[in-house]
Copies of this chain bind each other. A is one copy, B any other.
Amino acid sequence: MSSVESTKPYLLRALYEWCADQGFTPYISVQVDAHTLVPRQFVRDGQIVLNLGTEAVQNLHMGNDLITCQARFGGAAQSLSIPVGNVSAIYARENGQGMAFEVGDLPAEPAAATEADAPETPEPPPTDTPPRPHLTRVK
């Protein structure tokens, strides 16, 4: 079944749409590596949290393989590119509700509810402290 597309990009789009419909701000947590094009100055412990809200990014495309958009950091426009496989969580900034995913070469483990999967900071642009996300982990 190696040719079967992952459900992950479908779930990411679904939760993004849910956030938008609720008036919530969609955040994604990303495991940064050589394949992620993100502002390195906001990376902490190999992770970055990005605000994908319409007020924060332009030209957002959430494809089956890549999430791409443009955003401004410190006044400078930058193109972002994130492989779907690097996304470790998507959640609403306002209440932390969302979903976490296994990323990379981590050992397989049963899916479990977790509050400790996504870092709280940094998020561009920083505004105030969001609640800790409470996420359902999906392999």
Chain A positions within 8 Å of B, measured between CB atoms, are 1, 4-5, 7, 10-11, 13-15, 17-18, 21-22, 95, 97-99, 110-113, 136-139
26 example contacts (A-B, Cβ-Cβ < 8 A) are as follows A4-B22, A4-B97, A5-B18, A5-B21, A5-B22, A7-B18, A7-B97, A7-B98, A7-B99, A10-B14, A10-B15, A10-B17, A11-B11, A11-B15, A13-B14, A14-B14, A110-B112, A110-B113, A111-B111, A111-B112, A111-B113, A111-B136, A111-B137, A112-B112, A113-B139, A136-B136
Interface residues of chain A: helix, strand, loop or mixed (majority): mixed
Nearest Cβ on chain B to A94's Cβ, whole angstroms: 9
